[in-house]
Chains A and B, each alone.
Chain A
Amino acid sequence: MTERTPVELLKETIAKLEELSADVETEDAVALEANKQITVLRTKLQEAALDSMVSRTPALEKLSLAITTITNSAVHAGIGDKVASLAAIMDEVHGLLDLAKRGPKTL
């Protein structure tokens, strides 16, 4: 069985709470609480998405640096020389992306 990510878990829980609220046999107090939780979980979902972006940021910074180096090298002499470390940069980026794929901070 595949493990669900925090984001998937949040979406499933929100969907279940929405179904509970939509059921006309659900008691008012229970529906009210379900809707309160939906509000909280929607914010948590948004925060998890924001944290995912934050976790990918170091890789993006490295890649931006690589492009800047290549652009400068294309303009200046000896393009090949200045991007000799590109492979090393890419290795580092892959490492950072692996870390980011482990997901944002758990709930």
Chain B
Amino acid sequence: MKPRIDKLFWILGPCVLALAGCASVHQETLNSYTNNFSAVYTQAQDLYLRSEIVAEGIADRPETEGSVTSKLKDLEARKAAFQTRLAALDIIGKYNTVISNLAAGESPENLKGQITQFQQGLISFDVTPITKLAQSATPFLGVLSQGVALVEDAIKRNKLRAAINQAQKPVSAILDILAEDAGSLEDILVPELKRQQDPYRSQVDSLSRRLNARIKELKSTSEIEALLEKASAARRSMNRDGDKPILHRPSANATDPTPSDLDALVLLVGQVEMSAIEFKKLEAQVQAQYVLLNTYKNTLSAAKRAFIALASNVEASRIVATRDFIKQTLELRKATLQLQEAK
């Protein structure tokens, strides 16, 4: 038996009014959040995959302690840790797709073919004839059919809001863990670059020691002082903590430098300069890596703020948080390009 239309109006009317008053998640804000999250996802994947390659290399290093079995066991646990992170990112990505679909008005039934009890209740009212009737000139029927559409829309929006509210804690906590990981990733990726720098760093030090020992045997001249300044400048350009200039302290038995002494010193200083240049090339990568990881961490914080703001009823705060997230994502892309350029 179909209910009378006027009765239906009084049943649905308050529901429509109540649900229409619910704050909605702005589609544009949600799209900005999900699109920018994709950029974070890609960057995070890249950082974790690069770190996994380092983990594999560590297992083969002679200085790594432990038996072959224990090294393999450690490597398996570390690889599993990377897989968990990639899976967590993937899960947030899938979750973002679901909330985007809900926000776009895609019915939950279309997503999984299941319906809510409330919607089943609505179907029992047999809304199709009402919609057809709404095309007639009867004014309140038009209002009623719009009301039914509003109720259906509100159900979707309520699901969306519930999905966002419920996911706040776990999504925020995942983003916090990924931010903590950024510190670990720095301690994995930066030492890897420093290992490549080490031969040039120790070469500069070794050549400087030879230079220091050689000039002790020679009396001070303007050529020697100029060469020392060149060597010290090369060392300073490496921007190392605690760097000290090479001071000329001739011994009591020091002699006047011969042309061949000066030639040998020119050669040594030239080698110091060359090694310092190689060191600095890699230092550009180290600094770009620091910037990238710092920006990545800031972007994760911005992503968290943008996600929390999605559930906010204040549109202005959603817009501010999303803009901040977009800005951080652009910074992240810039830092990625800078690292690629430094290579």
Contact = CB atoms under 8 A, between A and B. Distances in A.
B87 A28 contact: no
Interface string A25-45: 110100100010011101101
Interface in B113-150: 114-117
9 contacts: A24-B208, A39-B63, A49-B187, A50-B188, A52-B183, A57-B80, A67-B92, A70-B163, A75-B108
B64 interface: yes
Contacts of B290: none
B91 interface: yes
B114 A77 contact: yes
Interface string B195-215: 100100110011011011000
A77 B202 contact: no
A17 B240 CA distance: 12
Interface of B: 51, 54-55, 58, 61, 63-64, 74, 77-78, 80-82, 84-85, 87-88, 91-92, 94-95, 98-99, 102, 108, 111-112, 114-117, 159-160, 162-163, 166-167, 169-171, 173-174, 177, 180-181, 183-188, 191-192, 194-195, 198, 201-202, 205-206, 208-209, 211-212, 235, 240-244, 246
A43 B84 contact: no
Contact of B212 (A24, A48, A71): A24
A13 interface: no
B78 to A, nearest CB: 5
B212 A21 contact: no
A56 B80 CA distance: 12
A83 B166 contact: yes
Given A60-B85, A77-B117, A68 B91 contact: yes
A90 interface: yes
Give the bracket for the number of chain A residues in contact with chain B.
35 or more
Interface string A57-72: 1011101101110110
B159 A50 contact: no
B80 A22 contact: no
A58 B205 CA distance: 45
Contact of A74 (B77, B163, B198): B163
Contacts of B112: 75-76
B212 A25 contact: yes
Contacts of B74: 47, 50
Given A22-B242, A54-B81, A79 B162 contact: yes
A53 interface: yes
Contact of B171 (A15, A21, A61, A67): A67
B249 to A, nearest CB: 10
Contacts of B117: 77-78
A89 B201 contact: no
Contacts of B88: 60, 63-64, 67
